[in-house]
């Protein structure tokens, strides 16, 4: 372990060895990384502090790297010893990406390997490392987005490990298929588009001009990826964050520059687009995003089979060519993964066949236990962001009614990233709700 300091904080690196497959504890192992954080004024008494485990959203993102007591972390270290866990395959844990996955063998073997990277395995990891850190005591778990999906699995399978369960934008449907999820998602994405264009009406013509240009020219991003019309539309993922509509507007402002050959997309614009669209830092997001909803034949689930792409055809308003043929706005998409990503993004191209195997897989294990959730005894609270673009509000509230004792805070003050954008306020409210203080 190594220990170091940031302003107001003492940080300690932890490394853990866990089984790749928890049903084979004596088999192959992988490494996990976690960063322990305590307030500098409490470092001498850290052993007396209760633990808070933070599970990041995703899938496929390492735990957030804070500099000092930012956002919710400043509130957490007032009373907790915090563990920021890099879930398996992410951050400083054993990586899973285009460079490392070929070590597993064929694309099918790579897909079999990645089948161990869902919420069920992540929770088993947490339960394996918890006794080593807490001495066996349960810990408070804060789950953001996909981290909340993991926390729901935690309460379904190992509630004895959780002292308090805190959800932020992360209450999943307990039984919805991937098709159900995206059929509910596209109308929300359309509403976010409508709100953006109402705020920035000048962007209607800007987007139409960019899309028309992309339809007529092959445009390569600085990193070698292709900026197709569909790839450009996927910038709508920004619209799910609190500042996203403003970030998108600023991105669009300087799209074109004059050149001897006529107007062209500016290098600076393409560089900024690449920063938003590249999956180089989080390939598991693309590979495992739809499988995180799969629960196998026991729940009537078949293969996910590129659900977002198939369901999009039911919403023709997202067809850019159709929009250009009229005079209306071109709609952006959102948190959706499509097969063309594995041809346009160099970070994903080598993993195309692996992705196809995952999309065709049907033998997924169930993730949630409604009966056990209905008997829950763990104090729990959830921030449900009204009309959250990433997680359906109706699905979240239905699950909230199933989890015994869960208290909800439904708010439209924040978007999906409220736990970050809201500073200490969101965590403070969740703690008060779970403790019955309000």
Catalytically active residues are 145, 363, 416
Judge contact between 239 and 192, C-beta under 8 A: yes
The 8 Å CB, 24+ separation contacts for 261-270 are 263/213, 265/210, 265/213, 265/219, 265/227, 267/222, 270/219, 270/221, 270/222, 270/227
Cα separation, 73 vs 429, in Å, equals: 14
* Token code pair at residue 437: 């203080």
What is the rounded CA–CA span in Å between residue 214 and residue 208?
A: 10
Contact 189, 390 (CB under 8 A): no
C-alpha 285/C-alpha 390 separation (Å) is 13
CB contact set of 332 (below 8 Å; sequence gap of 6+): 189, 193, 196, 207, 233, 234, 235, 236, 239, 248
Which stretches of 115-164 are DSSP H helices?
A: 119-134, 146-157
Nearest to 144 by CA among 438, 401, 430: 430
Q: Identify which of 55, 118, 113, 110 has the alpha carbon closest to the alpha carbon of residue 82.
A: 55
The span from the CA of 169 to the CA of 388, in Å, is 8
How far apart CA 49 and CA 51 sit, in angstroms, is 6
**C-beta of residue 229 within 8 angstroms of C-beta of residue 275:** no
């Amino acid at each position: 372990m190594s220990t170091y300091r940031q302003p107001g904080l003492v940080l300690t690196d932890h490394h853990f060895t866990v089984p790749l497959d928890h049903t084979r504890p004596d088999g192959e192992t992988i490494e996990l990384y976690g960063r322990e954080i305590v307030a500098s004024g409490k470092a001498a008494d850290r052993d007396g502090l209760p633990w808070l485990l933070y599970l990041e959203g995703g899938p496929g993102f390492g735990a957030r790297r804070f500099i000092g007591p930012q956002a919710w972390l400043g509130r957490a270290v007032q009373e907790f010893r915090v563990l920021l866990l890099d879930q398996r395959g992410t951050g400083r844990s054993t990586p899973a990406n285009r460079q490392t996955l070929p070590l597993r063998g064929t694309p099918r073997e790579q897909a079999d390997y990645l089948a161990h990277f869902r919420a069920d395995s992540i929770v088993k990891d947490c339960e394996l490392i918890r006794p080593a850190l807490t001495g066996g005591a349960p810990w408070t778990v804060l789950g953001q987005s996909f981290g909340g999906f993991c926390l729901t699995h935690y309460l379904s399978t190992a509630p004895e490990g959780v002292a308090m369960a805190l959800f932020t934008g992360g209450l999943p449907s307990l039984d919805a298929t991937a098709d159900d999820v995206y059929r509910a998602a596209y109308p929300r994405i359309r509403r976010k588009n409508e709100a953006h264009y109402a705020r920035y009406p000048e962007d209607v013509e800007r987007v139409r001009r960019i899309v028309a240009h992309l339809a007529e020219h092959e445009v390569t991003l600085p990193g070698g990826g292709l900026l197709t019309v569909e790839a450009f539309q996927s910038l709508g993922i920004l619209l799910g964050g609190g500042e996203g509509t403003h970030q998108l507007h600023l991105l669009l402002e300087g799209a074109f520059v004059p050149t001897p050959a006529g107007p062209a997309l500016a290098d600076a614009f393409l560089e900024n687009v690449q920063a938003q669209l590249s999956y180089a830092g989080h390939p598991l997001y693309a590979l495992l995003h739809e499988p995180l909803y799969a629960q196998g034949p026991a729940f009537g689930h078949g293969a996910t089979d590129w659900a977002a792409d198939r369901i999009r055809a039911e919403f023709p308003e997202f067809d850019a060519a159709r929009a250009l043929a009229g005079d209306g706005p071109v709609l952006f998409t959102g948190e959706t993964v499509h097969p063309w990503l594995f041809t346009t993004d160099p970070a994903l191209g080598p993993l195309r066949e692996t992705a196809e195997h995952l999309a065709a897989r049907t033998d997924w294990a169930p993730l949630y236990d409604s009966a056990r959730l209905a008997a829950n005894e763990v104090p729990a609270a959830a921030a449900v962001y009204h009309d959250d673009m990433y997680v359906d509000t109706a699905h979240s509230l239905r699950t909230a009614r199933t989890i015994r004792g869960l208290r909800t805070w439904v708010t439209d003050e924040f978007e999906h990233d409220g736990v970050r954008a809201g500073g200490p306020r969101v965590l403070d409210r969740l703690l008060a709700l779970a403790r019955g203080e309000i």
